[in-house]
Structure 1
Amino acid sequence: MLSPKRTKYRKQHKGRIHGLAKGATELNFGSYGLKAMQPERITARQIEAARRALTRFMRRAGRVWIRIFPDVPVSSKPAEVRMGGGKGAPEFWVCRVKAGRIMFEVDGVPVDVARQALGLAAAKLPIRTRFVARAGEEE
């Protein structure tokens, strides 16, 4: 699964995900992509599950680009622990995804295969998404 090799600080504040994505709103690498329609935290496990569904359906043909990376640590305390005692240990990594962000891109496969593969990947994610294609590509 994806996680940073090292970070400056072990723990981060939760934060909020406001507004629309500033960058990565257009296709840069592939002909087809999966765009986020609402803001949410996507875990490294969800990214990996979507990637597996995508590559498996495409039968390892074509090329896949993952445009998001989980770099935010989420900490939690064990069950049934009293208040206080500081912040819990980092448990997993997430990526803050804003609406309008391209999360996955594919190329080298027909449009119907790309649409179905990205649909299977979208089913693994906790947000509404949209299939997008380059201006020159047929839909």
Structure 2
Amino acid sequence: MWARRFAGNLLQSRLPAVNLSLLARPSSLSTPSALVKTQQHQQIRNYQNLQPRRRKHKKAQKGRVPVRTGGSTKGNYMAFGEYGLRVKSGLRLPAKTITACYATIRRKLKPIKGLKVWLRVFPDIPVTTKGTEVRMGKGKGAFDYWACRVPKDKIIFELQGPGLNAELAKDALRQAGFKIGVPTEFVIKNDETKQPKKADLPPTTVPFHHAK
């Protein structure tokens, strides 16, 4: 009896420890849905797929292009690169237009190695459309494309790279500006002559005190 018990203890000590809970149920990573989710998280968005990953509501109201008041200059100055493209009028910019501008910049500056392009706007507003000669009512139209509202004097693209001078950057951004449809402006970092002036703030009100 003691020999059989000793042999059993010796055999258990040589076997590796196994978690029985893993054997009772299949692994979550082996299911097809888990593999698909893992592949989706590994995907990286590029300029040809400019759209938000998720959104709470699939449709949105039309809205209006914001008008900066009170001296706000948010997004009007260079923040990353050396050269930039600024719009001189507010507009709603579709995702396909941003893609076309980016492709133009990359094509014009293809010989430059190590070129960096920053996109300062992102299309996150769903735009819906209806067919022609459709009567009023019957709900909102179907989704058509993604767009973003760009206010006046907003920087859209910024460029930087070794060997990139002002002439090459200006030519590339000029070609990209033709596709936007509104007047644009070439901006150089730390160039005060190209920076928009702050709006004059209204005077502060002083409470009136009655004379005694």
Query: Could you say whether these structures have the same fold, taking a TM-score greater than 0.5 normalized by the shorter chain as the test?
Result: yes
1:24-62 deviations in Å (ceiling 9; x for gaps): 111111000001111000000000000000010001622
Q: Which moved more, 1:126-135 or 1:77-86?
A: 77-86
Query: What does residue range 106-121 of structure 1 map to in structure 2 within 5 Å?
Result: 106-108=159-161, 109-121=164-176
Q: Structure 1 stretches of 5 or more lacking a match? A: none
Q: RMSD of the TM alignment (CA)? A: 1.7
Deviation at 1:82, TM superposition (A): 2.5
Match of 1:129 in 2: 184
- The unaligned stretches of length 5 or more in structure 2 are 1-48, 192-212
Give, in whole Å, the separation in 2 of the partners of 1:60 and 1:46.
23
Identity of aligned residues (%): 38
> In 2, distance between residues paired with 1:50 and 1:128?
14
Q: Which moved more, 1:91-100 or 1:59-68?
A: 59-68
1:96 to 2:149 alignment: yes
TM-score by length of 1: 0.91
Q: Which runs of 4+ in 1 moved over 4 A?
A: none
Contact residue 66 and residue 149 of structure 2 kept, 8 A = no
Contact 1:42 1:126 in 2 (8 A): no
- The Cα shift of 1:94 comes to 0.6
More strand by share: 1
**In the aligned structure 2, how far is the partner of 1:60 from the partner of 1:106?**
14
One-letter identity of the residue aligned with 2:186 = F
Q: What is the aligned residue count?
A: 137
Give the number of the structure whose residues are more often helix, by fraction: 2
The structure, 1 or 2, with the larger RCO (C-alpha pairs under 8 Å, 6+ apart) is: 1
What whole-Å deviation, never above 9, does each CA across 1:91-127 have from its counterpart, x for those lacking one? Answer: 1011100011110000111110000000011011121
Q: Flag the structure with larger Rg.
A: 2
